[in-house]
């Protein structure tokens, strides 16, 4: 079977990108599609693949993306204040007090653990999935380091 050669033009690539943009995705998404199309044609230009003469996507216009907003982060003082508030149980609904001494004790342990989790996440720079996936075997207290295998795999239903 012989492969049929189809010549794509920059205009056709632009039409495709406009069709993607009409779905109301962000300009960054359109640019990522352009980047992927460009990479596909670059691969096709290799002599060892299809030896295409040119890449029509290189001249397709990039969409203007809004400036990235500055990253918001907590100062160490704010992290510590949040941890103290969690440890004190300030996040709990005051209309639902603990009913027994054992529940008071369990909530105190949970509150202390919540505070520690916030500190680990903030100071180690872990995202939620990495934090949930973190295990004791990933932590080396003597070397003061941890390794994260990445986020938790999705749960199967």
* Rounded Cα distance, 14 and 69, in Å: 28
Mean pLDDT of 68-92: 93
121 burial via Cβ count (<10 Å: 0-12, 13-18, 19+): middle
- Confidence check: pLDDT of 35 > 70: yes
Q: Which residue has the higher pLDDT, 151 or 70?
A: 70
pLDDT tens digits, 38-58: 999 999 999 999 899 999 999
- Confidence check: pLDDT of 155 > 60: no
Which pLDDT score, from 0 to 100, does residue 154 have? Answer: 57
pLDDT tens digits, 86-110: 999 999 999 999 889 999 999 999 9
- Confidence check: pLDDT of 143 > 70: yes
Mean pLDDT of the chain: 88
Q: What is the dihedral of CA 126, 132, 136, 140, to 10 degrees?
A: -10
Which pLDDT score, from 0 to 100, does residue 69 have? Answer: 86
* pLDDT tier at 151, thresholds 50, 70, 90: low
Which pLDDT score, from 0 to 100, does residue 131 have? Answer: 87
Mean pLDDT of 120-149: 80
């Amino acid at each position: 079977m012989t492969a049929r050669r189809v010549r794509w033009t920059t205009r056709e690539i632009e039409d495709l990108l406009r069709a993607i943009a009409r779905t109301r995705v962000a300009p960054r998404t359109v640019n990522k599609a352009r980047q992927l199309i460009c990479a596909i044609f670059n691969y096709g230009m290799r002599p060892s693949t299809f030896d295409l003469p040119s890449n029509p996507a290189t001249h397709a216009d990039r969409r203007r993306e809004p400036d990235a907003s500055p990253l918001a982060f907590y100062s160490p003082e704010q992290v510590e204040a949040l941890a103290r508030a969690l440890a004190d149980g300030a996040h709990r609904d005051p209309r639902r007090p603990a009913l027994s001494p054992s529940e008071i004790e369990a909530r105190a342990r949970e509150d202390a653990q919540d505070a520690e989790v916030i500190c680990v996440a903030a100071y180690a720079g872990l995202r939620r999935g990495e934090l949930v996936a973190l295990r004791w075997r990933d932590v080396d207290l003597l070397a003061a380091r941890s390794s994260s295998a990445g986020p938790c795999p999705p749960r199967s239903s």
